[in-house]
């Protein structure tokens, strides 16, 4: 059964998806994924071999609703239910590369969504801790990641604004929803030299993808590019 799961991906319980259905990672999907990586990811400047390998390896069609599987390898965001989206593949790769990750790193992700970004991170780093505020998405993505064999991903239902204190510190933190400030609890959970990346700006308009690096008691920020993410909910909207 374990070997079968390496070749098949169970679809999650997101509305319009039937959990009993199984999609094979067939040659058509593999070819589409390879074309996506060559044209839209490597072709747009992503050069980290670890990131490119992860993007080639993770079957994105497993993380989108069944009705959208044929669009999984278009370089665009797609709806996954609960008013959330799976990010554009290029942005996933860009955010991942910007964190300068290695195999011994521990990463905190805020906003599990369908689990795709967590799966990409899990192909590169030692451990991924991922928090999802939407209970239904948390349940579905947790089951999917487990069924696909991502044993180095730990998930939690909760408000990611406050991070995962028991597991801190983290070498890198990724926020996958828009917020108009950098959450102080997350900054405190970074290691020395650790990096945090987030879409920073108006949650209901365009944001700047921003990289934050911890240096002693200070933090250095760098704006990367304009992006558009769904708003971070919970405590983030109360500030």
Q: Which residues pair with 225 in a beta bridge?
A: 209
Min mean pLDDT across 23-32, 48-57, 60-69 is at 23-32
Top pLDDT among 5 and 119 is at 119
Residue 217: pLDDT band with limits 50, 70, 90: confident
Q: Is 237 strand, coil or helix?
A: helix
Q: What class has domain 2-238?
A: alpha beta
Taking 90 as the threshold, does the pLDDT of residue 237 lie above it?
no
Name the residues annotated as catalytic: 87
Q: Which long-range contacts (CB under 8 A, 24 or more apart) does 18-21 make?
A: 18/66, 21/66
On average, the pLDDT of the chain sits at 92
pTM: 0.91
Burial of 216 (0-12, 13-18, 19+ CB in 10 A): exposed
pLDDT tens for 70-121 read 999 999 999 999 999 999 999 999 999 999 999 999 999 999 999 999 999 9
pLDDT tens for 173-209 read 999 999 999 999 999 999 999 999 999 999 999 999 9
Residue 129: pLDDT band with limits 50, 70, 90: very high
Give dist(CA 164, CA 225) in Å, integer: 28
H/E element holding 118? helix 116-122
Q: Which residues pair with 110 in a beta bridge?
A: 131, 175
Q: Is 89 strand, coil or helix?
A: helix
**Omega before residue 169 within 30° of 0, cis:** yes
Residue 23: pLDDT band with limits 50, 70, 90: low
């Amino acid at each position: 059964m374990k070997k079968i799961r390496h070749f098949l991906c169970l679809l999650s319980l997101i509305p319009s998806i039937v959990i009993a259905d199984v999609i094979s990672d067939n040659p058509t999907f593999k070819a589409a994924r390879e074309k996506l990586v060559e044209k839209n990811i490597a072709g747009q400047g992503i050069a980290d071999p670890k990131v490119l390998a992860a993007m080639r390896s993770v079957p994105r069609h497993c993380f989108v609703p069944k009705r959208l599987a044929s669009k999984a390898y278009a370089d665009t965001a797609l709806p996954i239910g609960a008013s959330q989206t799976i990010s554009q593949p290029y942005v996933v790769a860009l955010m991942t590369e910007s964190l300068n990750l290695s195999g011994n790193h521990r990463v905190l992700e805020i906003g599990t969504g369908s689990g795709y970004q967590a799966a990409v991170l899990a192909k590169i780093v030692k451990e991924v801790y991922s928090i999802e505020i939407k209970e239904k998405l948390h349940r579905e993505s947790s089951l999917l990641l487990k069924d696909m064999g991502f044993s180095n991903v730990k998930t939690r239902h909760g408000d990611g604004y406050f991070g995962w204190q028991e597991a801190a510190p983290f070498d890198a933190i990724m926020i996958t929803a828009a917020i108009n400030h950098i959450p102080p609890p997350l900054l405190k959970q970074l290691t020395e030299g650790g990096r945090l990346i987030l879409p920073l700006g108006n949650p209901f308009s365009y944001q700047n993808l921003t990289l934050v690096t911890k240096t002693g008691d200070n933090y250095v920020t760098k704006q990367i590019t304009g992006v558009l993410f769904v708003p971070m909910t919970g405590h983030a909207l109360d500030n």
